[in-house]
Structure 1
Amino acid sequence: MYKPVYLFIGLRYLWNSHLPKFKKFITLLSIIGIIISTASLIIVISVINGFEENFKKNILSFIPHLIITNKNKCINKSEFPKNIVNLYNFEKVSDFINQEVILRSKNDITIGEIIGIDNTNNENITNYNLKNVLNTLQPKQKNAILGIELAKKLHVHIGDKIKLILLPDKKFFFKEIFNEKTFKIVDFFSTNNEIDYYQILINKEDSLEFLHFPKNFITGWRVWFKQPLSLNLDQIKKSLNNFVLLDWKSQKGEIFKAMTIEKYIILLLFILILIVAILNIFITLTVYTIEKKSSIAILQTQGLANWKIILIFIIIGSSTAIIGNILGTVISVLLIMQNDFLKFLIKIFFDEIDISIIIVPHQIFFINIISIFITSISTLYPAYNAIKLKPAKILSHE
């Protein structure tokens, strides 16, 4: 006698040569459904991980995760809130000077943003892929470095001069004239990011003079965090009541929100595939309960406990889920490892898309556990119906 008997019976009813073709087809269909849903979920989540990593690398590395300033956007350095460094996930902070201005060349005019830099901004300067920036942007020399796309928009070249025009405050519009200064273009930066279209780098002392800021005054502080996607602005506001706080979502929140909505919609579609596969298992076990009433009754009369009968149904259902999950996981990991082949498949539907795929092991483990758990839960109702059968009543008709 095979032991444990409930394991032997469960695996025998899962698959054997004597099973009708229809039942084999239903079992295979359930396994294939779980394979497709598991593999799809792992691949989609890995692609989404890649998108989020690119989002952090290409966008959130250039824009600050949190801006601390005041209503006038002109604040003394001595007012720096020291408790900001105690925030969860804090990485680095630097003061900054920026202002939206009008840029005018000989033939064109556009809106841009000046960024004042000096040796306190070394970590941020590296993002611009420039060498010897501080030597190039010496104070009082009125030199400027433009984003490559901004330069194309203004049709300017290295050595040309552009005018920066600062609009006066609306309160004093009739009292002040436009502040205008001429800067010489000494270089371009290219980051393959949207800042190439509007940013212009100048020396911090030149920017202070241009903006008429008092000495030791700045626009505010830029703060970066290790996990910007989990930034809780409301919690930070409680500890910094006297400041104006702007997080990265104020600039890029809509992009991230759209990306999040798309993620949940895609995940929902593949979860529906998983639900269909689980329903197939549920229907199969319900049919087994009806067809094998006599066999179940005999097992009960032979002394097989009700919990062991329940285990037989759980083994049939969970075995299907385990087989499907293992095969789905292996297929998805192989496809992800063969990155070029997966990109080829994606490019059939999308042209000129560059994706990175990042596997997170605990996500794969979570997907597999949830799938097996839900499948096991779906077996409980057919199992409950099976143990409700009364052996004496069923066998009296045999």
Structure 2
Amino acid sequence: MYKPIYVFIGLRYLWNSRLTNFKKIITILSIIGISIGISSIIITISLIKGVQNEFKKNILSFIPHLIITNKNCYINESDFPKNILKLNNIQKISSFISHKVLIQSKKNITIGEIITFKENNYDDFQLYNIKNYLYTLNSKENNVILGKKLAEKLHVNINDSIQLMILPSSQKNFLTKKFNTQIFKITGLFYTQNDIDNYQILINTKIALNFLNYYKNYITGWRVWLKDPFSFDINTFKTKKNNLIFLDWKIKQGELFKTIQIEKYIMLLFFLSILLVVGINIVITLTVNMLEKQNIIAILQTQGLCRKKIMLIFITLGSSTTFIGNFLGTLISFILIFQGKIINFLINSFFNDINISINIFPLHTVLVNIVCILISMLSTLYPIWNITKSTPSTILSHE
């Protein structure tokens, strides 16, 4: 005899050659339902994580997650709040100089933003993939590098000239302040496939200081990159120093952030609905099995099998179905994810020209399987307890 006995009996109830076709169909459908649910959850989580990673890579790598400045956007570097460095979520901090400008070419006029960094932060420009950025940034001449889309808007190219005019920081100074204008030569273009291509202009630090009439040790503020920009509370930064202004990346990219949050809530709702279906599926399957096997349960009790082991028989039955469904669902989801063309084809059949990266996170996959197994085991408790609370004499008296 196989031991433990409850595992042997539970597996025999799950599948054996004497099962009727109806029971086999119920078992197969139960496993298929769990497999589809698990694979759907894993694929959905992988898609959302892929979208988040693409968002971090293509957008949040260029846009600072947090900007520290003051009301005038003009601050001394010595006023840097050093207490912020104690926070664990900080990845990188760099000072910068930036200002809104009016850009005029021979064919068009638009608004942009000049930006530059201190020499010890020139590595930030490497993200722009510009070969000659050091030539422009170290040059003593009025040279600039434009975003490609901004250049297309102005109908200019490399070696063309543009006129930059400083815009006043407030509407009160718009009519009274004398505008500072200078001619700059375009020495390069950058293309990051990001929103900054539409408005940003890279400029030499010393020329920017003179153009903006900044003192040597004064800057616009500090740009902060975080390890996890999706999970941080801006209030933890604000309490560090009250006379500074903290601008969150969610202000500029608020719609995208809301979209990602909505996706998370939809995923959670989807996950809960799948768990509900799995739980109901297990309850129905076990209830049908136990109602049919009431007499066998009574006989097992009269033979000396304790109530605990009888419960373990049906827990084994329900858990086995879930284990098989989880394994097949995880296997199917991995095959579909690694063969990304299949999922992209299905997505493109509804949405045109969308290429979404899919990232598998083993920890999330394990958690999904564990939660599903726990829910299935909990779902078995009530029908098992309900059927085993009856005594053998009560069950057999109905025969």
TM range (shorter): over 0.9
Counterpart contact for 1:33–1:274, Cα < 8 Å? no
Q: Distance in 2 between matches of 1:393 and 1:118?
A: 86
Counterpart contact for 1:31–1:277, Cα < 8 Å? no
Counterpart contact for 2:136–2:204, Cα < 8 Å? no
Letter in structure 2 aligned against 1:287? V
Instruction: Give the structure-1-normalised TM-score.
Output: 0.95
Q: Distance in 2 between matches of 1:173 and 1:119?
A: 32
Counterpart contact for 1:145–1:185, Cα < 8 Å? yes
Deviation at 1:120, TM superposition (A): 2.3
Counterpart contact for 1:118–1:203, Cα < 8 Å? no
Q: Distance in 2 between matches of 1:69 and 1:298?
A: 79
Deviation at 1:274, TM superposition (A): 4.2
Deviation at 1:118, TM superposition (A): 4.6
- Residues 64-107 of structure 1: CA deviation (Å, up to 9, x unaligned): 11111111100001111222222112222111011122211112
What's 2:23 paired with?
23
Q: Does 1:157 align with 2:157?
A: yes
Q: Does 1:342 align with 2:343?
A: yes
User: What secondary structure sits across from 2:239 in the alignment?
Assistant: helix
Deviation at 1:198, TM superposition (A): 0.9
User: What secondary structure sits across from 2:360 in the alignment?
Assistant: coil
Counterpart contact for 2:151–2:157, Cα < 8 Å? yes
1:107-126 aligned at under 5 Å gives the runs 107-126=107-126
Q: Distance in 2 between matches of 1:137 and 1:343?
A: 42
1:273-312 aligned at under 5 Å gives the runs 273-312=274-313
Letter in structure 2 aligned against 1:115? I
Q: Which moved more, 1:259-268 or 1:373-382?
A: 259-268
Number of residues paired by the alignment? 398
What's 2:7 paired with?
7
Q: Distance in 1 between matches of 2:271 and 2:75?
A: 51
Deviation at 1:171, TM superposition (A): 3.1
What's 1:173 paired with?
174
User: What secondary structure sits across from 2:332 in the alignment?
Assistant: helix
What's 2:45 paired with?
45
Instruction: Give the structure-2-normalised TM-score.
Output: 0.95
Deviation at 1:19, TM superposition (A): 2.2
Letter in structure 2 aligned against 1:186? T
User: What secondary structure sits across from 1:184 in the alignment?
Assistant: strand
User: What secondary structure sits across from 2:253 in the alignment?
Assistant: helix
Deviation at 1:119, TM superposition (A): 2.1
What's 1:219 paired with?
220
**What is the Cα-based RMSD across aligned positions, in Å?**
1.7
Q: Which runs of 5+ in 1 are unaligned?
A: none
Counterpart contact for 1:30–1:278, Cα < 8 Å? no
What's 1:189 paired with?
190
Counterpart contact for 2:144–2:202, Cα < 8 Å? yes
Deviation at 1:140, TM superposition (A): 4.2
- Residues 41-64 of structure 1: CA deviation (Å, up to 9, x unaligned): 111211211111111111111011
- Residues 111-134 of structure 1: CA deviation (Å, up to 9, x unaligned): 111112352222210011012312
User: What secondary structure sits across from 1:92 in the alignment?
Assistant: strand
Deviation at 1:23, TM superposition (A): 2.2
Letter in structure 2 aligned against 1:71? K
Letter in structure 1 aligned against 2:196? I
Deviation at 1:322, TM superposition (A): 0.3
Counterpart contact for 2:41–2:270, Cα < 8 Å? no
Letter in structure 2 aligned against 1:396? S
Letter in structure 2 aligned against 1:170? Q
User: What secondary structure sits across from 1:379 in the alignment?
Assistant: helix
User: What secondary structure sits across from 1:200 in the alignment?
Assistant: strand
Q: Distance in 2 between matches of 1:25 and 1:261?
A: 38
Q: Distance in 1 between matches of 2:10 and 2:26?
A: 16
What's 1:54 paired with?
54
Q: Distance in 1 between matches of 2:264 and 2:175?
A: 51
What's 1:63 paired with?
63
Q: Which moved more, 1:285-294 or 1:305-314?
A: 285-294
Q: Which runs of 5+ in 2 are unaligned?
A: none
Counterpart contact for 1:92–1:225, Cα < 8 Å? yes
Q: Which moved more, 1:72-81 or 1:236-245?
A: 236-245
What's 1:99 paired with?
99
User: What secondary structure sits across from 1:183 in the alignment?
Assistant: strand
1:180-259 aligned at under 5 Å gives the runs 180-259=181-260
User: What secondary structure sits across from 1:372 in the alignment?
Assistant: helix
- Residues 328-363 of structure 1: CA deviation (Å, up to 9, x unaligned): 111111222223333333323332112222111111
Counterpart contact for 2:13–2:317, Cα < 8 Å? yes
Q: Distance in 1 between matches of 2:111 and 2:214?
A: 21
- Residues 299-320 of structure 1: CA deviation (Å, up to 9, x unaligned): 1111111111111121111111
What's 2:371 paired with?
370
Q: Does 1:128 align with 2:151?
A: no
Letter in structure 2 aligned against 1:89? N
User: What secondary structure sits across from 2:131 in the alignment?
Assistant: coil
Q: Which moved more, 1:260-269 or 1:198-207?
A: 260-269
Deviation at 1:326, TM superposition (A): 0.6
Q: Which moved more, 1:362-371 or 1:17-26?
A: 17-26
What's 2:81 paired with?
81
User: What secondary structure sits across from 1:239 in the alignment?
Assistant: coil
Counterpart contact for 2:136–2:203, Cα < 8 Å? no
Q: Distance in 2 between matches of 1:263 and 1:257?
A: 10
